[in-house]
Amino acid sequence: MKQISIVKPALKLALVGVTGLLVACGSSGSSTPVDATISGTIVAAPVNGADVSVVDGTGVNEVVAAVKTDANGKYSLVIPNGSLGQDLIVKSTGGTFTDEATKNSGTAGALYAYTSSGSLSNGSMVSATPGSTIIAELVMNHGKTKAEAEAAFAEAFGYTPDMSVNPADATTAPAADETDAETLAGFRAGAFSQLAMDLLLSQDDQFALFAALAQDLSDDKLDGVDASGAVAIGTTGKSLEADIQNRFSTALINFRNNPNNLTGLDNNEFGDIPFAKVAFSSKSAGGTVTSSYQLEYIQTGMMAPVNGKDTFQIKVTNRSDDQIVSGLSPTLVPTMHMLAGHSHRTPMPTPAISEVGTTGVYTVTLYYLMPTAMGGYWDLNFTVNGEEAHFYPTVMMAMEGTDTPQVRLKGVDDQISMMGSMVSRTYFIFKESLTTPDMGASFDFSVFIATQESMMVFPAVYDNQTVDGNLIDATVEISDNDGANWTGATDGGNGVWSVTGLTLSDGVEDEIRIRLTIDDTVRVEAKTIDGTVGGNDYQTFKVTPGGM
C-alpha cells in the first residue's frame, strides 16, 4: 500500500534547518588551515649538506628549524600555516660545493630567498641563488621593498631571478627532462662564480661578494660605491671598482666560453648582457696585467642605438689620478657574436673616432648592421695604447613610425664567396642625415654606403675605392618624387653621399628613393633589391623631416 507522508510543513522546515546545520558543522572540519610543504635548490653551485631554515622578514627570527640539503642542493621543509601570512626568508648556511668556474671545492656562506606574505602555499618551489641572495640582502639590510630590490637588481644585472625554478648544475650536461629555465638559472649562478674568479677572489669569497654587490646597489647604481664611499668585499682586502657592472657583463661571456660550462647555451641564449657604461682598459703580458685607463660611454642622443647609424662619445681618464687623457688615438673593433661561434664586423667611416678638441672626449661613429635581439651580442672592443676595453651595447630594432635607418641592394653578377657558396654582394645604405638649411623650404639628405668583402670586412663605397681588388666608380641617384626625377648624389670621398634641395614637408612622412650603379672595371651594374635582373633597381627610405 502506498505510503503517505504526514509530516507537517512547519516540522519539515525545521528538519531542513537542522540538516543544513549538521552539514555546515561537518564541512567546517575540511577547511582546517593547511601547512605548506615547500622545496627547492640551494645554488652557488649546488650546495651539499647546507642548513636550510625559514626566518621572518627581518632575517633574525626562526620560523622553521633547519633541514639539510642533499648532494644536489635540494631541500624540503614544512611551514606552519599560521606563519604564511608574513614575509618569509629561506635561509641557507654552510655546506660544501664545487665551484663552477674553477672546479675548486668550497664551503658555502649564506644564501637567501625572500618571499612576500601570502605567496607560499603547499607545493611551492623556492630556490636560493646568488641573485635571490642579493635581492634579499637589499631588503633585509638596506631598507628596500622587495619590488624596489628586484627593480634595482634587474637594472644592474639584466634579469630578475625566478625563485620558483630549480637551477641546474651548469657543469653537467643538461638532463633530458631539464627545462630551458632551469638551464639558464644554473648558467646565471655560474656567471657569479666566474665574476669571483675574474676578480681574483676565492670560491669561498663569493659569498662576501654577494653582500658587497647588495651594499653597492643600495643607492640603485652598481658602480663600486654606496652613499658612504667605496664598498669593501668582506675581509678580502679588496673593494668593488667603478667597472663592476662591466665586469659582470664580461663574466657572462667568460663563463659562456669557460670549458667547465656544459649548459650548451649559445650566444643568443644566456639572456641580456647589461650595457655597462664604464669599463677599465687592461693588457696582460708576461704574467703582468696593466690597467691604465677608465673609459666612459656617453650616449649623445635621446634614443638607444638602433640597427643603423650610431654616434656616441668615449671619455678617457687616467685611473691613477682621474685626469682626462687627451691626444690619444683609440681604435675600435665592433663585432657581433652570433650563433654557433659565427661572428661579423660592421661598417665604420674613416676616421671612425675623433677627439673633441683636447677634452679627452672622443666621438665615435659606426653603422650597426643588425639589432641585438635574438641574434647574439655586440662587443665594442676599444684599444687605447695597447690596452683593451669592452662595451656590450643593447642595439634595438628601429621602432615602427621612425625613419628607415638602413636599406640594402644586391649585386646581380657581382658576387662574393660566403661560407663556401657564391652569393650576391650586398650594399648597405644607411641614413646619414636629413636637414633643412632654410627652415623647411628644402631639405638636404645624405647616406653612408658600404659593401661586404667578407664577414669581417665592410669597406665604404666611394669613387676609386678598391673592392674585390678592383677600383670602382659609383653612381648614386636619389628621387623625392617616386622616381619621376633622379638627382645625382655628391661623393664625399668617405662613403657619405649627399643631395640638396629635396622637396619634403616638415612633420609629414614621405619617401626617398635611392639607386646605385657600380662600375668595377669588370661590369657596369645597377644593383637590385633582391640580386635578380628583374628586381627593383632602387630602395626606399621612409622619412619624416623633423622626426626621428
User: Mind giving me the DSSP string for 247-258?
Assistant: HHHHHHHHHHT-
pLDDT at 374: 73
Check: CB of residue 407 under 8 Å from CB of residue 541.
yes
Q: Phi and psi (nearest 5°) for 523? A: -155, 155
Strands 361-367 and 473-479: unpaired
Q: Would you state the cell numbers that stand for residue 389, as one nine-digit string?
A: 676595453
pLDDT at 401: 84
pLDDT at 375: 81
Q: Would you say how long the chain is, in residues?
A: 548
Stretches where the chain sits below pLDDT 50 are 1-28
What gap in Å lies between CA 192 and CA 201, rounded to an integer?
11
| Maximum separation of any 2 CA atoms in the chain, in Å | 118
pTM score:
0.91
pLDDT at 303: 84
pLDDT at 12: 44
pLDDT at 10: 45
pLDDT at 19: 45
Peptide linkage before 351 cis (omega within 30 of 0): yes
Q: Would you state the cell numbers that stand for residue 522, as one nine-digit string?
A: 669588370
From the list 108, 154, 109, 148, the residue with the least C-alpha distance to 131 is: 154
Distances (CA, A) of 160 to 60, 157, 188, 355, 398: 25, 8, 11, 39, 26
Name the CA radius of gyration of the chain, rounded: 31
What gap in Å lies between CA 490 and CA 500, rounded to an integer?
9
pLDDT at 400: 85
How many whole angstroms from its chain centre is CA 135? 19
For residues 125, 128, 130 and 136, what is the CA-based torsion angle, rounded to 10 degrees?
100
What gap in Å lies between CA 466 and CA 460, rounded to an integer?
9
Domains located in the chain, CATH noted: 35-276 (no CATH), 279-397 (2.60.40.10), 406-543 (2.60.40)
Burial class of residue 46 in the structure, from the number of CB atoms within 10 Å of its CB (0-12 exposed, 13-18 middle, 19+ buried): buried
What gap in Å lies between CA 171 and CA 45, rounded to an integer?
9
For residues 318, 330, 268 and 138, what is the CA-based torsion angle, rounded to 10 degrees?
10
Distances (CA, A) of 272 to 110, 255, 364: 27, 14, 24
